[in-house]
Amino acid sequence: MRHLRVPSAETQHWLELCRTQNWLQKGAGVLSLEGGLKGIPLSETAPPESDECWSNNSIFSAQGLTKGPEHWSEHLDQKLLQDIGEELPNSYEIQGDILIVKLEQQTRQYGNQIAEAMLKQLPSVRLVCADNGVIGEFRVRDLEPLASRNEDISTITQIKENGVLISTDPAKVYFSARLSKEREDNLSVAKKLRKQLSRPLRICDPYAGVGPSLASLLTEDNLVSECYAGDLNPASFELLKGNIEHFISKSPNILNELEIKNIDARKWKDELGNEHKIDYLLVNLPHHSIEHLPELLPLLSTEHSTVIRGWAIIDRESLALQEGNITSMIELAGGNVEYIRCSEVKGFSSSKIFMRFESWQTFS
Ligand SMILES: C[S@@+](CC[C@H](N)C(=O)[O-])C[C@H]1O[C@@H](n2cnc3c(N)ncnc32)[C@H](O)[C@@H]1O
């Protein structure tokens, strides 16, 4: 491989020039030479030694110091890279051993080559899928398998979060690894409530998905005495049952009560015979959380503090109004709000945000 011999102090200058001109050999490192000189690896397209651009620095041939590709796209051939041009996907998401990538319309024809390049670069990935958008009542992703490391194109996979394995199927159910911080906070708030009540909690996660929030709550020592969890999506429900069984097997505690149902969250109050028994309620249906809230409030226990943690997508300008809005709902249901906080977790679109709300209240 050809290398440009340059004084050590000028290395950055020549590296920059070669990089911008596409003359740098990808995957090869800079050589350290005798006499404080450096050897910059040149690509085949770099001009010959006689070219004025090199300012009389010499070019020599040496075995390259290969580092191996640093980016999956380095496994694509140059012609394909040029054809894809600006539309090269610059991000992807990994769930367990599945990589999910959005491809622009004009890049879809290169999907297989892109997927093969990703498999070469990322040894922990088994299956690469194109994300063709959100579909159906349960807003799950329309995934198209592009390439697999083995013959296995199953979209079922396992994710490890805080040391606990969670099974999911990104083609059939919702799961967001990005919200793991929210789930950590769910645990701290639950511990605070347990301290206040001086006993383990009766919890309800009626939009549980595959149960990531329950993973930390149910594996915590002596935190939960009764658990009511469900999801309307039958595929989530099936995975949820298996996951909860797994979480419980990791915990030394015995639950007094466990119910897992494939029902609309708003039906839980009837399921529980209007018993007002829940201490800790999670409300995670961001497009409809606020609208569903009045039908969930009858679940909450009376005579002592209870906690709701929920997430909602709202208009950015309405954030300041949400605390008043939720307080009114709780008061209308006969509750007294002790504490409420609505905060932006992240942006959702130019006009909307993803908000968390947390309220502590009592019902008499
Ligand atoms: C945003 S996801 C949250 C899932 C889970 N809590 C998590 O954090 O990954 C909302 C979940 O609610 C479920 N769902 C949608 N409508 C529902 C309803 N009316 N009642 C119960 N679950 C519902 C969806 O299938 C989905 O799994």
Q: Hey, CA dihedral for 216, 219, 221, 222, is it positive or negative?
A: positive
Distance 131 CA to ligand 1 centre (A): 20
Where residue 94 sits, what CATH number does that domain have? 3.30.300.110
Does 260 share its domain with 337?
yes
162 within domain boundaries: no
Mean pLDDT of 88-95: 94
Mean pLDDT of 279-286: 98
Percent of the chain past pLDDT 70, that is, above it, reads 100
Does 218 share its domain with 272?
yes
What domain count does the chain have? Answer: 3
Contact of 44 with 23, CB cutoff 8 Å? no
- Tell me if 227 CB under 6 Å of ligand 1: no
Where residue 191 sits, what CATH number does that domain have? 3.40.50.150
Contact of 184 with 162, CB cutoff 8 Å? yes
pLDDT in tens, 34-78: 888 999 999 999 999 999 999 999 999 988 887 778 899 999 999
Ligand 1 atom with minimal separation from the 175 CA: 9
Does 104 share its domain with 204?
no
| Lowest-pLDDT range of 61-65, 110-114, 201-205 | 61-65
- Tell me if 209 CB under 6 Å of ligand 1: yes
Distance 172 CA to ligand 1 centre (A): 12
Mean pLDDT of 319-333: 97
168 within domain boundaries: no
Quickly state the pLDDT bin for 3 (edges 50, 70, 90). very high
Domain limits for position 133: 72-155
pLDDT for res 333: 97
Does 188 share its domain with 221?
yes
- Tell me if 213 CB under 6 Å of ligand 1: yes
What region, left, alpha or beta, does residue 30 occupy, with left being phi > 0 and alpha being psi -120 to 50 degrees? Answer: beta
Distance 285 CA to ligand 1 centre (A): 5
Does 293 share its domain with 332?
yes
Distance 264 CA to ligand 1 centre (A): 9
Does 229 share its domain with 314?
yes
Strand segments, DSSP code E, in the chain are: 2-7, 28-29, 31-33, 37-41, 59-61, 65-66, 93-95, 98-101, 127-135, 140-148, 157-161, 164-168, 201-205, 224-230, 257-261, 280-284, 306-315, 335-347, 352-363
Does 239 share its domain with 305?
yes
Between residues 65 and 304, the one the model is more confident about: 304
Residues 6+ apart with CB under 8 A from 53: 17, 47
Q: Hey, CA dihedral for 309, 313, 319, 325, is it positive or negative?
A: negative
H-run or E-run covering 327: helix 319-332
Mean pLDDT of 348-363: 96
pLDDT in tens, 12-24: 999 999 999 999 9
160 within domain boundaries: no
- SS3 assignment, position 274: coil
**What is the rounded average pLDDT for all residues in the chain?**
95
Nearest alpha-carbon partner for 182 in 314, 349, 345: 345
pLDDT in tens, 144-173: 999 999 989 999 999 999 899 999 999 999
pLDDT for res 328: 98
Give the distance from CA 270 to its chain's centroid. Answer: 34
- Tell me if 175 CB under 6 Å of ligand 1: yes
- Tell me if 359 CB under 6 Å of ligand 1: no
pLDDT in tens, 113-122: 999 999 999 9
pLDDT in tens, 213-252: 999 999 999 999 999 999 999 999 999 999 999 999 988 8
The DSSP call for residue 10 is G
Q: Above 90 in pLDDT, residue 101?
A: yes
Q: What is the pTM of this model?
A: 0.82
Quickly state the pLDDT bin for 351 (edges 50, 70, 90). very high
Does 275 share its domain with 222?
yes
Mutate to test the pocket of ligand 1, among 137, 168, 232 (most ligand atoms within 8 A of CB): 232
Mean pLDDT of 120-144: 95
Does 216 share its domain with 325?
yes
